[in-house]
Amino acid sequence: MRILLISPNTLREPYPVYPLGLDYVAGSVAARHQVRIADLNTMDLADLARLVAEFSPTLIGISCRNIDNTEAATSRSFIREYQQLVSWLRARSRALVVCGGAGFTIMPRAILAAVGADLGLVGEGERFGLLADALDQEQDPCLIPGVITPDSPAAPPLPPPWTGPQRRDFRDDAAHKRFYLEHGGMLSLQSKRGCSFRCIYCPYPRIEGRQHRLIDPEEVARMALKLEAAGASYFFITDSAFNSDVPHSLAVARAFTAAGVSIPWGAFFAPVKLPPEYFSTMAEAGLRHVEFGTEALADPMLESYRKPFRVREVFTAHRQALEAGLHTAHYLLLGGPGESRATVSATLEQMERLTRTVLFCFIGIRVYPGTGLYRIALEQGRIGPDTDLLKPVFYQAEGIDQAGIEAMVRERAGQRINWVVGSGGSGGADTVRKLHQRGYSGPLWEFLIR
């Protein structure tokens, strides 16, 4: 078969991200099929039209990474763009169109219907190889776990985690790689799948599963060296929380050191209780940016969100990271169940005490099906069973509304540049773009640290 994999994600905020998922999807396809990747960050529709005409794909896979930008005040949905792309492809190709990806897996049936594709593949993309083989051999693709059609039930069952071979087809000569090297020098890397924590609002365990599937640390280090050899000057570890398996994350860091990985990197961390030498081991291995998923700095809110730590652990992890010489940022998520003026005040008070850091405040929590927050919102009558969650819906706390929270945050933030509402918007992304053009690499929020 001739297979065209498309990454339609041209979002530049906070910066363009390498379409890592498609490396794994491409890696799942048997060698007898031909695969091309089209990344719309690197080509316009005229280029894509030429590629479709020349290559004449029989199967097209579209990666639906983002549903929306998850920012309540400046909400932007991408579903219409996916739908327009599918219609545009239909006018030029008779190929079967399949959707997949992280965003797709959160609401597969609704997205499939909205974009008008033929099939969807829920969960990990490794089953795409099986799908291509089934279509090639004229077998029923719907027998493959995770494959859905427009007639599937509204909430199709999640397929079990993929336990077969996982191969990343990272090509040094891939045309799109150059774009990311020229826009920040950043490529990405995965060290495991799954998150075992149970935070009430989070769809990650649904996307990747709760059970950790660890990649051999030496294998992760080999891939890091490959990215470095390909010209990357930075990489981001895309794991939901890099330290949700502390021994494995330490083993990966030690494997980086042993292999001689020399470029800096960043990752998401949960500010849980960690061994004293944790961040110094990470720093030795090249970690530069620690992005803490802190979410609140008031214990009742951390409890409400079912976070696996409390305020005291946040301060300890923060101090450990600073002592190891690392840049730290904290992501806060305000407005969940139980939020009130008092809890926002308590969080703001503690934010003042977090020194030498950047605080990204997301106000309003996106409600995703299958999460604890969804059930709470349903029980409280804030949404109904028929509410269309594809249109971004944000939980509305009883005690304070989003505008009230934003006013409190902005008033407290004053002129401080290290207190950022959301991901920093287009202004922040423009600054990052200019710095990337001047040769800086990485996420660059360290310039905001105060």
Residue ranges in contact with ligand B12 by CB under 6 A: 9, 11, 13-14, 16-18, 20-22, 24-25, 61-63, 65-71, 98, 100-103, 105, 121, 124-126, 128, 186, 188, 190, 203-204, 207-208, 236, 238, 240, 423
Given ligand B12, ligand SF4, none, residue 332, with its beta carbon under 5 to 8 Å by kind, binds none
270 and 292 in contact (C-beta within 8 Å)? yes
Given ligand B12, ligand SF4, none, residue 293, with its beta carbon under 5 to 8 Å by kind, binds ligand SF4
CA distance 154 to 281: 46
For helices 402-413 and 341-353, the axis angle rounded to 10 degrees is 30
Given ligand SF4, ligand B12, none, residue 252, with its beta carbon under 5 to 8 Å by kind, binds none
For ligand B12, give the closer residue by CB, 72 or 297.
72
For ligand B12, give the closer residue by CB, 11 or 96.
11
The DSSP letter of residue 46 is H
Given ligand SF4, ligand B12, none, residue 334, with its beta carbon under 5 to 8 Å by kind, binds none
Q: Per the structure block, which two tokens stand in for 448?
A: 């905001």
Rounding to the nearest 10 degrees, give the CA dihedral for residues 316, 268, 431, 261.
100
What x/- string results for residues 194 through 233 when contact with ligand SF4 is judged by CB under 6 A?
Answer: -x-x-x--x-xx----------------------------
For ligand SF4, give the closer residue by CB, 35 or 270.
270
Q: How far is the CB of 66 from ligand SF4 (least distance, A)?
A: 17
What x/- string results for residues 226 through 255 when contact with ligand SF4 is judged by CB under 6 A?
Answer: --------------xx--------------
Contacts of ligand SF4 in 376-415 (CB under 6 A): none
Binding segment for ligand SF4 (CB under 6 A), chosen from 156-164, 179-187, 192-200, 320-328, is 192-200
Can you say how many angstroms the Cα of residue 155 is from the centroid of all Cα atoms in its chain?
A: 22
448 and 418 in contact (C-beta within 8 Å)? yes
186 and 18 in contact (C-beta within 8 Å)? yes
Question: 142-151 as b/e, with b when 16 or more CB fall inside 10 Å?
Answer: eebbbbbeee
Q: Per the structure block, which two tokens stand in for 243?
A: 């330290």
Contacts of ligand SF4 in 258-297 (CB under 6 A): 270, 293
Give which of 128, 122, 126, 132 is closest to 153, Cα–Cα. 122
360 and 420 in contact (C-beta within 8 Å)? yes
For ligand SF4, give the closer residue by CB, 177 or 330.
330
Q: How far is the CB of 260 from ligand SF4 (least distance, A)?
A: 30
Per-position DSSP letters for 331-361, written without gaps between them: EEEE--TT--HHHHHHHHHHHHH--S-EEEE
Residues listed for the chain: 450
Q: Which positions lie near ligand SF4, rule CB under 6 A?
A: 195, 197, 199, 202, 204-205, 240-241, 270, 293
